[in-house]
A and B are shown apart, each in its own frame.
Chain A
Amino acid sequence: MGKPLLNVSELTVDFKTKRGLLTAISNISLTIKPSETVCIVGESGSGKSVTSKAIMRLIDDENGVISKGSIQLEDQDLNLLTKRDLNRIRGKKIAMIFQEPSSAFDPVFTIGDQIVETIVKHLKLSKKEAWQRGIELLKKVGLSEPVIRMKQYPNELSGGMLQRAMIAMALSCNPDLLIADEPTTALDVTIQSQIIELLNSLKKEFHMAVLLITHDLGVAAQLADRIVVMYAGTIVEEGKVEKIFSQPHHPYTSGLLQSIPKLDAKKETKLFSIEGTIPSLSNIPSGCRFHPRCPFATEKCRLESPPLKNIDGQQSACWHTSELINHENKFHDELQLGRTQETIPIQQEVTEQEPLFEVRELSKYYPIKHSHKTIKAVDHVSLKIYKGETFGLVGESGSGKSTFGRTLLQLEKPTDGEVLFDGQSLAAFNHRELRQKRREMQVIFQDPYGSLDPKWTIGSIIAEPLKTHLKKQSRKEILAAVKELMVKVGLEPEWIDRHPHEFSGGQRQRIGIARAMAANPSFVLADEAVSALDVSVQAQIINLLKELQQSSGLTYLFIGHNLNVVRHISDRIGVMYLGKIVEIASSEELFENPLHPYTSGLIKSIPSIETIGTHQIDTLKGEIPSPSDPPSGCAFRTRCPFATELCHKEVPTLKEYQTAHFAACHYAEKRKVD
């Protein structure tokens, strides 16, 4: 097996805070062999990022201290190195890439300057040689026109391009270990898939070990040899990727795996979710840290913390692992029977098909300063949203889906076109009438932190729409209504006087939902409403949204970028590309039989836990073009593998190819036959 490249043993990291020391991770032990890819998965607060930063000793600058344990890189203990010696290792032996490529480069230096700086520091090349090497590296990571890219500033490149440049910089000194901290989280699925492919080929070419940090089990499945699952600052399970995914030994891993909406799951089944939330570091539960959320917890779990035990090369920290494996069937049955079978009664089939929203040729253009051009964010979109249904809207960032949502609700004035709400044109209303109509249309936003006023109590946040829209006057009435809403969305009524900062992301999203529901709407726009949440919490919120829809007969427009999630919640899905709808179909139909090449490209880009290690290579190439200068003819032709002369010249119109299945592609008919 050979000697490990990196050996972390019993690592404990504390952070100095105003209230004293806070232990972020405790007793973390892991090894990485040369050329091996190890992936740490876990939700926010699990300590996975702290672990990776501790290895680089980056926590030194964040008031963090390694209070116990060692980090052995080959023969050196990184914990004992002086700053000077450490800087010889950073960037040379261990390189690191980060989550947010757009803020990971210094904005006032060119990409080239920043790559050269690293090379000159570690390889002692001349500036000229380093520049040349930089160009080669950019070519290697698949950036077109590397000579020009070197001279560009970070703000002139897209997120995907910057992440490639970041990888080039990390590889510039041939590191033995690459630490990638959520390298694809901020990117679109299509770009994510390209970056995964790139990392997969580069790690072979450079014979380097990779430590990947991610919350996305799908990404982990595509890249990892071995998986380490972290929860609340400790390792709960560790083993080979195939084993972890096929037979998890820890209830948390098992729960995480089940929380992901599967492609073949029936829509009426409730998504599996782990109850409760991840504990905060200042309030770690006794015994096994997972016990408050574990369906198998016993008295022993509450009192004693389980050590990592090795069973068939797979380690897990659970008192009940061996029983669970022995009773594998029972284990699975219990999880399946106990929870996943729970269904949400499907509503009366939407038979009468009465539209709530009818959108006719809706457009929203933004003028570009000092130019005659415009950005066509939404370009002649026509569609209907029927009463009681969930209409999903997907597309990469820049496709115009959020602008569509805002323009639909007249939060932005449309440039052209018409929106009928319940048969009445919204444009015909004056300010006051529109405000009254707004009561019926509520919005749930993506960012559960930014969308709640931090100075208000949650009681007053939820009460505000009651006062403005429903004209409820008496205090008693309002209080009762607020409490009822809180119960409805799964919040404790006693929390009414607390402030938003006292809640976790998932709970805040529940507050946002309660506020939307307070106005008693008939329509809710959910704009990336679960994107900022952890997998286990995301499932809870989706279930809540579905339940509310059933009980109140709501209609949803669900905008999202996670296709599995959108598929799970939506009845019909529209796919947007550069301001236009390119395909609309029922969600099953869309996934089984996509007619537009863009749709099938998007579907192929989803990293799936069902295909471990076999990364789809024929995903979408390139990036979405700038909406200020869209390609002629079919806007998608620049990335389409089937594009012909016709696509170059003529804009395809949205046509019905099968019952209720629309597509805007010249060759949809042919693809249908295929």
Chain B
Amino acid sequence: MLKLLINRCCTALFVLFGSLLAVFSINYFLPTDVVDSLSASNASNPEIAENLRKELGLNQPFYTQFSHYIIGILHGDFGASAIDGEPVIDKIITQFPATLSLTLTSILIAMIVGLTLGVLAAVHQNTVIDYVARVIGLFGISMPTFWSGILLILIFSISLGWFPAMGSEGFSTLVLPSITLGLVGAGFIVRVVRNSMLEIISENFIQTLRAKGLSERMVIYRHALRNALIPAITIIGVIIGDFLGGTVVIETVFARKGIGRLVADAIIAKDLPIVQGVVFFTAIFYVVINLLVDISYSVIDPRIRRQIGR
């Protein structure tokens, strides 16, 4: 297990470095920069703009700028916003919890709905239950979140008035956005769980379990589901990463706080330090999630556990 952790930390370093390099390069080689977006609003003259570039270090060569940035991170300094001068880390700390709680509640909803429907669909293959579950899954996958989000607002907020349509204060504001996002994940999970359950149920050992006299409940939930979870966990890891990216739209639709909005605004303003900071934290989050996924594999499947132990 320790070996796995060390291995993962090394990979994480590469992932972080790579993602920072990518974002930095894109920003650097773009024909416009933050000064353009500032001066567009201020309508100031080219001389001032040039001074500003000098001040921000934007006229230095790529490697100098990049190495400064990396050295700064190693000292815990993520720089400051090029627009308002506020430290990046402060901005992220104020915005990140909202995104995190949205992501986690969404994935929870996705897992509960996805696993339940997936198992039910497989156990009752080719019945009404199966069809309903598959249709729900299809909707989850194919409906764009900006549309389904607005639909939910129309029904539950405007018509019924059960939940607030926007904002990010309190639990009630979390309900509609996390359902919107959760349904997307549920759609993927239903499909994967249904398929892997069907595959497992046709395995020989299921017949052995039935021949032992175990109740169908035991056969399905104690044995089959545990085997079917392995592919499901893989997709959950991917979905979480997706959700972090997907919050951009959701946070806009529901007018929520969060790093999705933060980064979207920063990109428009060419506020490079903010973009990089958000990428950095998202990457860390992603690596941690995938580590958790790998650990849960080995908890569920002894074959993987023994391999890691070696």
Contact = CB atoms under 8 A, between A and B. Distances in A.
Nearest to B204: A103
Given A100-B204, A105-B208, A108-B300, A90 B213 contact: yes
A156 B215 CA distance: 27
Contacts of B302: 107-108, 110, 153
A116 to B, nearest CB: 11
Given A103-B204, A108-B302, A58 B214 contact: no
Interface in B188-236: 203-205, 207-216, 223, 226-227
Contacts of A118: 212-214
B211 A90 contact: yes
Given A155-B303, A370-B310, A58 B213 contact: no
A104 B210 contact: no
Contacts of B169: none
Interface string A107-127: 111100000011001100000
B50 interface: no
Nearest to A87: B213
Contacts of B226: 108
A51 to B, nearest CB: 15
Interface in A187-207: none
Interface string A620-653: 0000000000000000000000000000000000
Contacts, number: 79
A106 B210 contact: no
A56 interface: yes
- Interface size, A (range): 20 to 34
Contacts of A89: 213
B77 interface: no
Interface string B269-308: 0000000000000000000000000000000111100100
A90 B212 CA distance: 5
A119 B310 CA distance: 33
Contacts of A56: 210-211
A108 B212 contact: no
B209 A108 contact: no
Given A108-B300, A108-B301, A109-B223, A117 B205 contact: no
A83 interface: yes
Given A153-B303, A370-B310, A108 B227 contact: yes
A90 B216 contact: no
Given A98-B204, A100-B204, A153-B302, A106 B213 contact: no
B214 A104 contact: no
A64 interface: no
A188 B114 CA distance: 44
B213 A96 contact: no
A660 B21 CA distance: 72
A30 B207 CA distance: 24
B303 A107 contact: yes
B205 A107 contact: yes
A95 B211 contact: yes
Contacts of B213: 86-92, 118, 121-122
Contacts of B223: 106, 108-109
A33 B14 CA distance: 70
Nearest to A371: B310
Nearest to B211: A96
A141 interface: no
A61 B213 CA distance: 13
Interface of B: 203-205, 207-216, 223, 226-227, 300-303, 306, 310
Given A91-B212, A105-B205, A107-B303, 8 more contacts: A56-B210, A88-B213, A95-B212, A108-B223, A108-B300, A108-B303, A117-B212, A155-B303
Which are the 6 A-B pairs with shortest beta-carbon distances? Answer: A91-B213, A90-B213, A91-B212, A96-B211, A103-B204, A87-B213
Interface of A: 56, 58, 61, 83-84, 86-92, 95-96, 98, 100, 103-110, 117-118, 121-122, 153, 155-156, 166, 169, 370
